[in-house]
Structure 1
Amino acid sequence: MVEESVFRGIISLFTKLGVYDIILPFLLVFTIMFAILEKTKILGSEKIEGREVTKKNINAIVAFSIAFLVIASTQLVAIINEVMANIVLLLILGVSFLLLVGVFFSDKEFTLEKFPTWTKFFMVLMFVGIVAIFLNALGWLQFVFALFLNWDAEWAASILFMIIILGFIIFITYEPREKPKRKE
């Protein structure tokens, strides 16, 4: 029988204490809500010694209350845990890809500033990935997968026909915009 390591024992102790199910989601929601309230100054600000300062005490109480309401729901905590694990996976995937791209740039420094279209592409790709992660965590992607798995040739032909018609209409009615000429 394999003996349990000290680190595995600590992790199981944290699990029994509720660190992963209560404390970490609470801290995450509290921190994000407090940062949003501080940045947006929704609950107001006051002038102290000529400086405009946010009402930290009200922001903290509101963020604290929202965080407690979130951890009271086990479904929300489960969604947060699943989403955060998948977002970290997406982040590791992005960093790994950038490391692989950096291999091909030899001794030159690689920055995405020289490639603005790639930067936008990766931003859109990460956004789509995060939306897909949230939809999967909420269980909404099962309906989409079921739709694609259960359709027959009639459905596919109808959808393809509609896409071709829409593409044709857009192609016929599209007028390129004229760029305004600069006056010098």
Structure 2
Amino acid sequence: MTNFVELFETMESWGMLDVLLPFLLIFTVVFAVLQKAKIFGEDSKRFNVIIALVLGMVVVIPHILGTYPEGQDAVLIINNLLPNVALVLIAIIMVLLLSGVFGYEAKGAGGAIMIPAFAVIIWLFGISAGWWENFGWFNIDPDTMAVVLVLLVFGIIIWIITAGENTFKPLKDTVNVFKNK
């Protein structure tokens, strides 16, 4: 009788985890962005599929052939990045869930949450790509990173709970300025 370990080992030997999943991820993200942006007009689904297909193959084929320079293989960077991004997304969702449980409504604070989240994503992407190897203070082992993330999440939760009524007013004004343009 087979088990899940053998199933994933078989999928790995077929190249599904190294080729198919990154291709599907790139294709889906590019297609969704093109559909949402409507760059080629309202009825441009065929063009968007072709562009997403080509971009997905342009990223995956050099990985299959081994032609990426050392440390610049996009598929390996994606494979290293996704667990860290998933951890950050889980932390953000937990903050939002806990703030919702306590009845907090952050109207207009989305920009304030997105800026640090974007910075953390860039930081994690840099770690996965090996950009911060020359900077010792950027290289944090996973255990320390987990502790820092937990402390940050709890700090944000405590700040949200104890924040006054007017704490988010400058953030609301900033977001409203961008909404009006």
TM-score with structure 1 setting the length: 0.60
* Aligned mates of 1:5, 1:129 — CA distance in 2: 40
1:66-77 map, 5 Å: 66-74=55-63, 75-77=73-75
Deviation at 1:94, TM superposition (A): 2.1
Deviation at 1:99, TM superposition (A): 4.4
Query: 1:19-44 CA distances to partner (integer Å, 9 max, x unpaired)?
Result: 211111111111111222223333x3
Residues 99 and 36 of structure 1: CA distance in aligned 2, closer, same or farther (over 3 Å)? closer
Contact 2:23 2:60 in 1 (8 A): yes
1:101-116 map, 5 Å: 101=99, 105=102, 109-113=103-107, 116=108
Query: 1:126-148 CA distances to partner (integer Å, 9 max, x unpaired)?
Result: 11110101111221111222799
Secondary structure of the residue aligned to 1:111 is coil
* Aligned mates of 1:80, 1:73 — CA distance in 2: 14
Given residue 90 of structure 2, which amino acid in structure 1 is its aligned partner? I
Residues 41 and 123 of structure 1: CA distance in aligned 2, closer, same or farther (over 3 Å)? closer
Q: Which consecutive aligned stretches of 4+ in structure 1 deviate over 6 angstroms post-superposition?
A: none
The CA RMSD over aligned residues, in Å, is: 2.6
Contact 2:132 2:138 in 1 (8 A): no
Quote the residue 2:118 is aligned against: 127
* Aligned mates of 1:100, 1:63 — CA distance in 2: 37
Greater RCO (Cα-Cα under 8 Å, separation 6 or more): 2
1:24 aligns with 2:21: yes
Quote the residue 1:12 is aligned against: 9
Q: How many residues align?
A: 130
Given residue 130 of structure 1, which amino acid in structure 2 is its aligned partner? I
**Larger relative strand fraction:** 1
Secondary structure of the residue aligned to 1:141 is coil
Given residue 82 of structure 2, which amino acid in structure 1 is its aligned partner? M
Query: 1:163-183 CA distances to partner (integer Å, 9 max, x unpaired)?
Result: xxxxxxxxxxxxxxxxxxxxx
Quote the residue 1:165 is aligned against: none
Query: 1:75-95 CA distances to partner (integer Å, 9 max, x unpaired)?
Result: 110011111121001111223
Unaligned runs of 5+ in 1: 46-51, 149-184
Secondary structure of the residue aligned to 1:63 is helix
Contact 2:84 2:124 in 1 (8 A): yes
Bigger Rg, structure 1 or 2: 1
Unaligned runs of 5+ in 2: 64-72, 140-181
